[in-house]
Structure 1
Amino acid sequence: MREQEDDRLYSDPRLVDFYDLENGWGQDTRYCAELARTAGSVLDFGCGTGLFLAGIADGRPMVGVDPASAMLEVARHRTNGEQVRWVEGDIRSIRLGERFDLVTMTGHAFQCLLTDADVKAALATIAAHLTPSGQFIFDSRNPARREWEGWTPEASRRTVAHPDYGKVESWNDVAVDEETGVVCYETAYRLASGETLSSRSSIRFIDQAHLAGLIARAGLVIDVWLGDWIGAPFEPGCKEIIPLGRLA
């Protein structure tokens, strides 16, 4: 996605250094790792720094796709990173000419798709890379929870322990377009030297009913809607919107 590729949070090596400190192995990657146990091949879109695939690499065919070269550079140098094929590409248009038993997209990377046209293109790509019995899964924050309201400087201020910079003060700031569901937020890190590293990102919040319609029109079927990465079923007030499905 061009927007993500241009976002310094993903393209500036110094900001990429902070990414895993705040986005490490979690419930999403653990859930997907369990799904992957019985998959003969795995494709991960928005793979970022490769934490997930490198963590489960065991010789099976695995491909990680991301538009940010700085993120992929980290992925290639991970332990077991050499067992994964890392591809720089855009989910809206990439075609690998292969099909996979499991297609994943975690870390809310799906929300970097800012329009219905982007979502339709991404879903077509997912469909094009699934085996007849393959599964796909991704996550999106539920707009009903209005999580962005906690992304103000006052509410988000925190300290991040960096191995080179030490304790770093960090915060977010946010602006919301209620009509489109697009949220623009700033991520900032103030180093001990006084220098501030910052980036601006845009993501979209999409409701479950609208997403369900787009998925159905893409020739995909949802077997279960999850409301979190522990496995609870989706309900209107859930934090997450997580479709787990397959080809129609």
Structure 2
Amino acid sequence: MLSDADVAALYDVLSPWNPALSPGDRFYDTWVMAAGSVLDVGCGTGAMLTLAREQGHRGRLVGLDPDRAALDRARRRSDVDWVEGTAAGATADARFDLAIMTGHAFQCLVTDDALRSSLAAIHAALRGGGHFVFETRHPQARAWEDWNPSNAVGVVAPVAGTDRALRVWHEVESVAADVVTFAGTAADPDGTVLHTDRSVLRFLAPAPLNARLADAGFEIGAQYGDWDRGPLTGTSREIVTVARRR
């Protein structure tokens, strides 16, 4: 079986942070490097803020995440503040220039109460005019239809200090209105299951998404359908949002 630490290490293999190769990572990196202070909500293993420091960012960097094993990996970098907690627990007195949620973490805010409390906390953590930048999958693209065992990927990941070949796949369990429940599985190449995580994501369309941002005190500065800042269209797979604190 995989330990929590193994799962955190596997995440870094599956989702490497590389602005040189990934348009999405490059989009966020530009925002981070231009901001004096940054709150990374759902920072995971901290790759984005770690790279920012390596690139010479001198301002305050804070990573917030409820996953202790992920934060243990993040804390290998000691010149970033790593805080265990949820978006709803974001500090209200820091006055950050920028708050960011990457990796579709915004979709983990499934209930109306979670959305309301999280957006309120992020709003309170920003200075006046500060920005909240995040992306969410556009429901029209029905991304979950590709989450099935036939799309399993093979990876080599550090497990208990030794590189090990694994197969990783996702499988949808239910789709109810705008909420999708699915399982993520890591297994040995022979199919022996080592770890299964169940996740629930919410797929908000632009209109209800923007209404909730407005209710929380944000105005939309820009909204894109791709990482090249193209407009939202009938074929967009992403909703990339730049919101400003009123």
Q: Same fold (TM over 0.5)?
A: yes
1:158 aligns with 2:153: yes
1:207 corresponds in structure 2 to 205
Flag structure 1 segments of 5+ consecutive residues without an equivalent: 1-8
Which of 16, 37, 44 is equivalent to 1:24?
Answer: 16
CA distance in 1, matches of 2:99, 2:234: 25
1:184 aligns with 2:176: no
Residue 20 of structure 1 deviates from its aligned partner by 1.1
**SS in structure 1 opposite 2:34?**
coil
**SS in structure 2 opposite 1:86?**
strand
Query: AA paired with 2:6?
Result: R
1:41 corresponds in structure 2 to 37
Query: AA paired with 2:123?
Result: A
Cα contact 1:224–1:233 (8 A) shared by 2: no
1:171-192 CA deviation, whole Å, 9 max, x = no partner? 211123332x221111111125
**SS in structure 1 opposite 2:169?**
strand
Residue 96 of structure 1 deviates from its aligned partner by 4.7
1:12 aligns with 2:4: yes
Residue 28 of structure 1 deviates from its aligned partner by 2.6
Deviates more, 1:185-194 or 1:102-111: 185-194
1:34-65 CA deviation, whole Å, 9 max, x = no partner? 11232111111000000000110233111000
Identity level (%): 36
Residue 27 of structure 1 deviates from its aligned partner by 2.7
User: Under a length normalisation based on structure 1, what TM-score does the superposition of the two structures give?
Assistant: 0.88
RMSD: 1.9
The 5 Å alignment of 1:88-237 reads: 88-154=84-150, 156-163=151-158, 164-179=162-177, 181-191=178-188, 194-237=192-235
Cα contact 1:67–1:90 (8 A) shared by 2: yes
Flag structure 2 segments of 5+ consecutive residues without an equivalent: none
Cα contact 1:176–1:183 (8 A) shared by 2: yes
Query: AA paired with 1:132?
Result: G
**SS in structure 2 opposite 1:31?**
helix
Cα contact 1:28–1:107 (8 A) shared by 2: no
1:66 corresponds in structure 2 to 65
Residue 230 of structure 1 deviates from its aligned partner by 2.3
1:128-186 CA deviation, whole Å, 9 max, x = no partner? 011123111011101111010010112x212112243432122211123332x221111
CA distance in 2, matches of 1:41, 1:175: 39
Deviates more, 1:56-65 or 1:189-198: 189-198
Which runs of 4 or more aligned residues in structure 1 lie more than 4 Å from their structure 2 counterparts after TM superposition?
Answer: none
Residue 229 of structure 1 deviates from its aligned partner by 2.0
1:93-144 CA deviation, whole Å, 9 max, x = no partner? 3325211111100100001111122111111111101112311101110111
